[in-house]
Amino acid sequence: MFSLSHFFIGLIVAALGTAAIKYNFQLVNMTGSQDWIESKLGGGSTYFVYKIFGLLAIVCGLLYATGLATPFFDWLLSPFAGIFSPLGSNK
């Protein structure tokens, strides 16, 4: 079911993800370099991780805005349904 509030929230999340990708240099200057990311992935990887989070925010925001987030994540996590299903339920 379409919801106007979900549409606007999804667009806001996608816009924030776009801003995170576009202004990742300024974002790293504000937050500082993340030493634990740099030690695991190498020098300059803080920028890369912020870009990945921005891309994920864009995708998730657009999925939420269009109402496809629940079906997509149901499909994505369906292999784990047997592991986390309640006791006694047989699907």
What's the pLDDT tens digit per position in 3-31?
A: 899 999 999 999 999 999 999 999 999 99
Query: Are the beta carbons of 81 and 91 closer than 8 angstroms?
Result: yes
Residue 82 has pLDDT above 70, yes or no: yes
Residue 88 has pLDDT above 60, yes or no: no
- What is the pLDDT, as a whole number, of residue 91? 53
What's the pLDDT tens digit per position in 25-65?
A: 999 999 988 899 899 998 889 999 999 999 999 999 999 99
Q: How many Cβ atoms sit within 10 Å of the Cβ of residue 64? A: 21
Query: Are the beta carbons of 17 and 64 closer than 8 angstroms?
Result: no
